[in-house]
Structure 1
Amino acid sequence: MGMADTVTKEYIRSNEVFADAFNYLIYDGEQVVKPALLQELDTTEIAIPFALGENENQTEDVVQKYRDVLKSAVIMQDSRASYILLGVENQTEIHYAMPVRNIIYDALQYGKQVSEVAKRHKSKGDRKGHNKGEYLSGFYKEDRIRPVITLVVHFGADEWDGPLSLYEMMDLEDKKLLEFVQDYRIFLIDPYKLANNDLEKFSTSLGDVLGYIKYSKDKKALSKFLNDNQVMIMDNDAARVIRDVTNTPIYVPDGKGEIDMCKAVRDMIDESKQEGMAAGELNKAKKMALKMYKKGDSIEEIAEMAEVSVDQVKEWINSAV
């Protein structure tokens, strides 16, 4: 896993940022998913579908995958609680088989839930069920599983041009056949497609991070974005995402804390200008030194006049030979 993948995963793991992403996706920015009601789960998806079947000693192949982040959520609407699982997949690069990848994650999670229900029945000693169908599956008629929603967050400046559904990955024009082929679409947050009014719907630094990424390849647009914000206070995890994803050479302190992203970028630009000016002055000194050397002046005299070391003058002379 690259550094950019590591920092985006750590960033999105924050309950506040995680909730913000789903509130944008599902509720248009309304604060419905509460960070305090999120609980992180094991991201290892293991499924042995219906392993507790008629033959207790049967073995089946274990299927195992690793999500980026998975959390259980309690969503309150009209005094009713919905218990749901929310998963996020971070992509710094476009994945052209994302619909298949996501359907595998979701299917494994549903299989895992069914297996866990069957195990609970067995541990309680009520494994026989009420009928043969319940006995064979280990899943009873009144049992329920929790729905899973997987969100893809694209941390890249280029437009996501990958397929958004299984249908888009297929070359099947027969509509009659398509009626019998299950489609599966991905839910995607792509900076390229976010308008300014979309970015304003985020309540955490996620909006600023996605906005910076969106404009990172257009210096004029990025400058306007930063000037419009003037002050952009964000936590260090968010700043690291911007630094590593966009290759912006800003200084971000280790550990937790906050940073003014606008100021950090301005300081970086000022430092770059100063370095450029210094390089220009040094180049003038080099030209003068070489002219003096051709006239026969001593290296010591040249170094004193150019205000550099004797070794520097020697290096210039040797490189010019």
Structure 2
Amino acid sequence: MGEKDLVAKEYFEDPHRLADLLNAELFQGEERIGPEDIIQRNPSGFRRSTNDTTVRARVVTRDLLGELHTGLQVVLIALEAQSSVHYAMPLRVLNGDGIGYDTQWRKIRDGHEKKRDLRGAEFLSGFGRKDRLTPILTIVLYFGEEDWDGPRSLKEMMDLDNCPREVAGRIGDYPLQLVEVRKYPHSEWFRSDLQYVFGFLQRDRDKEGLQKYVNENAEAFSHLDGSTYQMIRVMSHSRKILKRKENYRREEGDYDMCQALREMMEDSEAIGEARGISIGEARGISIGEVRGISIGEVRGIQLARQVISLQKEGKMDQEIAQLCGIEVEKVREILL
């Protein structure tokens, strides 16, 4: 499990945040679910297969699994955090949900075998007429900077170009429950610090817009808890904040991201210019060592300023590299 997966898992282990996400996504912000309605479950499921000589087990781990109790209904809620597009995500979710249902069925079947209370077709099924599976709802949280251009349902992964409409209509589908964090239109529905995580990530490529947003919510950003600070740092384009995380720890134990962001903004152009000089010098050497020092420094500074300016306009790294005629790695080196 990568750093982003671990941070997201830790963040949403707080039942208040998971309840807040579900209320926003399922009930348009209405508080229908409380933290007391959610019980954490083991996120690992497995499917067993046997033959005469071997037993095989396939383990699938969801980033988070919770048991939701709403009224008399129980629903298993699975979260999958994605930092990049997964072009087989509907199949991956279907597989995870299928293993979850398979695990439930096996548990029910094993219970009947111990009780010896099934006959006929029920015995062959390992499942009684009145037995029921607990439904599973998997939500995919996508934190990536690029738009999600992957499939949003199982059918979008299928070759149906020449399939008769009548046949295609009978083929089962499995839609993806996708939340695109950076494009989520209703962050105001959140009542926890989720609204600030979403709001920050939606603006982290627009430095002026981000500074304005943080200033407007200064009280919240001046008192972030450790997991929220980590979530923003790891998922955002501003990873340098974390390098000095302890510098912004307050006596109360929370973190002041307002101060961290102010210092980052003040330092960015100076850092960019300094790195631009070294890049410019290296390029200038090919022109001539003496001439390269003067020409390289000027061009390096100009290049750094151009890169920073394009980033402020919200351009992606690949687009900046194309406009400046440099490699993407050089863009990231200047912006780091």
> Which TM-score applies when normalising by structure 2?
0.71
Offset of residue 176 of structure 1: 1.6
Q: Does 1:93 align with 2:89?
A: no
Q: Could you tell me how far apart the structure 2 residues matched to 1:47 and 1:219 are?
A: 47
Offset of residue 252 of structure 1: 2.9
The aligned counterpart of 1:252 is 245
Q: Could you tell me how far apart the structure 1 residues matched to 2:255 and 2:146 are?
A: 26
Cα distance change on mapping 1:257 and 1:108 into 2, 3 Å: farther
The aligned counterpart of 2:67 is 72
Deviations 1:143-197 (A, max 9, x none): 11111000011122322221110121123133222112111011111123223xx
Specify every segment of 5 or more residues in structure 1 that has no aligned partner in the other structure, as ranges. 280-321
Cα distance change on mapping 1:58 and 1:137 into 2, 3 Å: farther
Question: Which region of structure 1 is more displaced relative to structure 2, 62-71 or 140-149?
Answer: 62-71
Q: Could you tell me how far apart the structure 2 residues matched to 1:58 and 1:84 are?
A: 37
Q: Could you tell me how far apart the structure 1 residues matched to 2:160 and 2:211 are?
A: 45
Of 158, 163, 166, the residue aligned with 2:151 is 163
Q: Could you tell me how far apart the structure 1 residues matched to 2:68 and 2:90 are?
A: 23
The aligned counterpart of 1:13 is 13
Of 182, 188, 194, the residue aligned with 1:206 is 194
Structure of higher CA gyration radius: 1
Q: Could you tell me how far apart the structure 2 residues matched to 1:83 and 1:162 are?
A: 31
Superposed counterparts of 1:121-200, under 5 Å: 121-123=112-114, 125-127=115-117, 129=118, 131-173=119-161, 174=163, 175-195=165-185, 198-200=186-188
Residues 108 and 126 of structure 2 are in contact (CA less than 8 Å); yes or no, is this contact kept in structure 1?
Answer: yes
Residues 48 and 115 of structure 1 are in contact (CA less than 8 Å); yes or no, is this contact kept in structure 2?
Answer: no
Of 201, 207, 228, the residue aligned with 1:219 is 207
Return the letter of the residue paired with 2:256: D
Deviations 1:262-310 (A, max 9, x none): 333123334557879999xxxxxxxxxxxxxxxxxxxxxxxxxxxxxxx
Specify every segment of 5 or more residues in structure 2 that has no aligned partner in the other structure, as ranges. 276-336
Return the letter of the residue paired with 1:29: G
The aligned counterpart of 1:299 is none
- Secondary structure of 1:188 counterpart: strand
Q: Could you tell me how far apart the structure 2 residues matched to 1:244 and 1:192 are?
A: 14
Residues 109 and 126 of structure 2 are in contact (CA less than 8 Å); yes or no, is this contact kept in structure 1?
Answer: yes
Q: Could you tell me how far apart the structure 1 residues matched to 2:73 and 2:111 are?
A: 22
Superposed counterparts of 1:273-312, under 5 Å: none
Return the letter of the residue paired with 1:96: Y
- Secondary structure of 1:62 counterpart: strand
Cα distance change on mapping 1:91 and 1:257 into 2, 3 Å: farther
Q: Give me the CA root mean square deviation.
A: 2.8
Residues 213 and 246 of structure 1 are in contact (CA less than 8 Å); yes or no, is this contact kept in structure 2?
Answer: yes
The aligned counterpart of 1:107 is 98
Cα distance change on mapping 1:180 and 1:273 into 2, 3 Å: closer
Question: Which region of structure 1 is more displaced relative to structure 2, 95-104 or 206-215?
Answer: 206-215
Bigger RCO of structures 1 and 2 (CA < 8 A, at least 6 apart): 1
Question: Which region of structure 1 is more displaced relative to structure 2, 236-245 or 167-176?
Answer: 167-176
Return the letter of the residue paired with 2:68: A
Of Structure 1 and Structure 2, which has the larger fraction of its residues in helix? 2
Offset of residue 58 of structure 1: 9.4
The aligned counterpart of 1:27 is 27
Q: Does 1:243 align with 2:233?
A: yes
Of 260, 264, 277, the residue aligned with 2:260 is 264
Return the letter of the residue paired with 2:80: E
Residues 81 and 140 of structure 2 are in contact (CA less than 8 Å); yes or no, is this contact kept in structure 1?
Answer: yes
